[in-house]
Amino acid sequence: MKTANPLPLVIRFWTVLLPAFLFLFGTGCSAKKNASPDSADEFTGKGASLPFISYQSQDANYKGQLLDFNTTYHQIQSEASGRKAVKLQADGDYVRFTLKQPANAMVLRYCMPDSADGSGLNGSLAVYADGKEMGVISLTSKYAWVYNYAGGWPGNNDPSTGEACRFFDDSRMLFDETLPEGTEITLKKEDDPGYYIIDMAEFEQVPPPLPRPENSLSITDYGAVSGGGDCRDALNDCVNAAKSQGREVWIPAGNFAIDGGANIFVNGVTISGAGVWHSTLTGSAYFMVRGGNNYFHDFAISGDVTRRVDQFTQCAFETNTGSGNRFEDLWLEHVKCGFWVKGASGMIIKNCRIRNTAADGINLTGGTKNSSVENCDLRNNGDDGIAINSEKNQNCSGNTVKNNTVRSPYHASGIAVYGGGDNTVQDNMVYDTVAFGAGINISSRFNPTDFYGTTTVKGNVLVRTGSAASTSERGNNQGAIWLVAWDKDVSGIAFSGNRLIACVYDGITIDGNGNNTFSGITFQGDLIEEAGGYGISIFNGANGSAAFTGVKITGASGLNNPGSFTVKKGGGNNW
């Protein structure tokens, strides 16, 4: 966000020892759509370690229509993981998944029609386990479907204004029992909103609610009622009392509605819950975090944002200058941004799931320093999944984005760095970028602080990333890695050990406007494994140089360099 149905929620990551590998989508880029990663074992240590297993609809047993591989913007399957999905249109159509491990909870990623007025429709799918009826999973299109992106970014909820995007949303279901490995879970269409398109399901084993901390005040003691009316006053009163007494705030198991548009101010307080499958704040639960040493953990926020309006403060957490703030084991959804961080120092965002946001998942800006984003899972973000953003000369430095997974951002890049110094992007996984962005974007857009020191980009895996350019800006498509010198020079960027797999367009694009210069750019040991365009494409207008050592390109043409840019080829290259 540059001058930017209860939900399925994550459990404590360290209590669930499931495999660290992520799902493989089994499809490739537009040029070679059958290209795919060879083995999950290759990705050990990459991306987030997650408490669920993902199951793709196209790999399941189904009765319905397969929407085949397509990366074209505004096509529904372009936003699906793996760029394929299954459409259930006739009564009795179904998708059937077979559990690989025991599970008592399901998250479903789906699309269903919008209403004529753009406010959304409600529906449901019947759920069966080995033929036994388990109930229904409630679905809605209220939070999907944004229109007129191409002509009126960031879009609106009026279907009459233009083409649509943001097709998918998530819903969850907690079962009454643990289902064993091998159980067949069937999702069947038995009502008629028109259709359901199933992208994927996630199954996990959710533990019981966490106990109340000893030194805590419960929001229920101040009048909050699960499933009742507005709990805003109760939450505010509990936060103020905890601050004055040096105690914590406790959100017990339940769904607590927060009405009204004002922020909840917190300064030097710990707020915790019974776990993100158990404790949920719904509605306008938007925190304004002041000062340092705040700690938020083990609860969820399910907001009420249906479109992006930048003048509204609708981020789950917006922080001002402060040190030592921690955000762990949170699930944030249907908000403008998950985190908008201004001027933090020593901040930690860890083990969070951030999905279906109208703008960025996480944006570190305003001079944020020495902070980290680690082991987070992001999906369906309306701007960069994770950004280190020194826009307007707001110097961000010494920050680390490590071992995160970003999937299907429907606008902009998976991970982006705009200026600043000595920031690190390491061992992340990015899948399926859709429009106007890359898997990883290193850029001098938005008049940021000059790049200084070394920006390190290493060990990341980018699968089916890169996207079509915005015609309102420039006519070039973006590669899986997109280097941009538009507003200022770009210098001191060290790429190493990155894997770019089944790139939608080019593998690496280097993009300049004829005025600014690239210097100190190095690529070492990076692998480009199939691309719809060139392995490396340097746009006419890019000035300066970059050095390549041990860079290997397979399944794509090697180098496109029509201008005067200097390519320094060291040893071990294969292109």
What CATH number is associated with residue 545?
A: 2.160.20.10
Q: How far apart are CA 252 and CA 264, in angstroms?
A: 18
Q: Domain range spanning residue 518? A: 360-575
Other CB atoms within 10 Å distance of the CB of residue 38 = 9
**Same domain (yes/no): 351, 385:** no
Q: Which residues pair with 278 in a beta bridge?
A: none
Structurally, how many domains does the chain consist of? 3
b/e string for 428-441 if b means 16 or more Cβ within 10 A?
bbbbbbbbbbbbbb
Give the per-residue pLDDT at 468. 76
Q: Which two three-digit tokens encode residue 40?
A: 């999950």
**Same domain (yes/no): 367, 341:** no
| Last residue in a domain, options 340, 356, 372 | 356
Q: How far apart are CA 499 and CA 485, in angstroms?
A: 23
Q: Which residues pair with 301 in a beta bridge?
A: 281, 332
In a domain, 46, yes or no: no
Q: Which two three-digit tokens encode residue 310?
A: 């930048």
Judge whether 228 and 129 are in contact, CB under 8 Å: no
Q: How far apart are CA 125 and CA 108, in angstroms?
A: 10
Task: Give backbone dihedrals phi and psi of 301, rounded to 5 degrees, phi first.
Answer: -125, 120
In a domain, 482, yes or no: yes
Q: How far apart are CA 481 and CA 208, in angstroms?
A: 42
CB-side exposure of 345: number of CA atoms within 13 Å? 6
**Same domain (yes/no): 198, 253:** no
DSSP per-residue string spanning 128-141: EETTEEEEEEEEE-
Q: How far apart are CA 78 and CA 56, in angstroms?
A: 15
Q: Which amino acid is at 190?
A: E
In a domain, 37, yes or no: no
Give the per-residue pLDDT at 43. 85
Q: Which two three-digit tokens encode residue 482?
A: 């997109």
In a domain, 9, yes or no: no
Give the per-residue pLDDT at 412. 95
Q: How far apart are CA 455 and CA 468, in angstroms?
A: 25
In a domain, 251, yes or no: yes
CATH value at residue 155? 2.60.120.260
In a domain, 340, yes or no: yes
Judge whether 178 and 106 are in contact, CB under 8 Å: no
**Same domain (yes/no): 259, 385:** no
**Same domain (yes/no): 349, 367:** no
Q: How far apart are CA 107 and CA 51, in angstroms?
A: 12
Low-confidence ranges of the chain (pLDDT < 70): 1-42, 149-151, 470-475
**Same domain (yes/no): 342, 371:** no
In a domain, 268, yes or no: yes
**Same domain (yes/no): 474, 566:** yes
- Which position has the token pair 């309306």? 382
**Same domain (yes/no): 341, 373:** no
In a domain, 39, yes or no: no
Give the per-residue pLDDT at 6. 41
**Same domain (yes/no): 195, 266:** no
**Same domain (yes/no): 328, 382:** no
Other CB atoms within 10 Å distance of the CB of residue 558 = 15
Write out the E strands in 93-183.
Answer: 94-98, 103-111, 122-129, 132-140, 146-147, 164-165, 169-179
> What number of residues does the chain have?
575
Minimal CA–CA distance to 93: which of 125, 71, 52?
125
3-state SS assignment for residue 117 = coil
Other CB atoms within 10 Å distance of the CB of residue 73 = 19
* C-alpha torsion angle, residues 446, 73, 87, 378 (rounded to 10): -20
**Same domain (yes/no): 79, 189:** yes
| Last residue in a domain, options 315, 333, 356 | 356
DSSP per-residue string spanning 373-418: EES-EEEEESS-SEEEE-GGG---BS-EEES-EEE--SSS-SEEEE
CB-side exposure of 322: number of CA atoms within 13 Å? 20
**Same domain (yes/no): 451, 407:** yes
Give the per-residue pLDDT at 470. 56
Q: Which residues pair with 509 in a beta bridge?
A: 482, 537
User: pTM value?
Assistant: 0.93
Q: Which amino acid is at 474?
A: R
| Last residue in a domain, options 315, 340, 356 | 356
> What Å distances lie between residue 172 and 5, 24, 106, 109, 136, CA to CA?
8, 22, 6, 9, 10
Q: Which two three-digit tokens encode residue 8?
A: 């399925």
Minimal CA–CA distance to 342: which of 319, 361, 376, 312?
319
DSSP per-residue string spanning 425-484: EES-EEE---BS--SEEEE-TTSPPPPBS-EEEES-EEES--BBPPTTT-SPPB-SEEEE
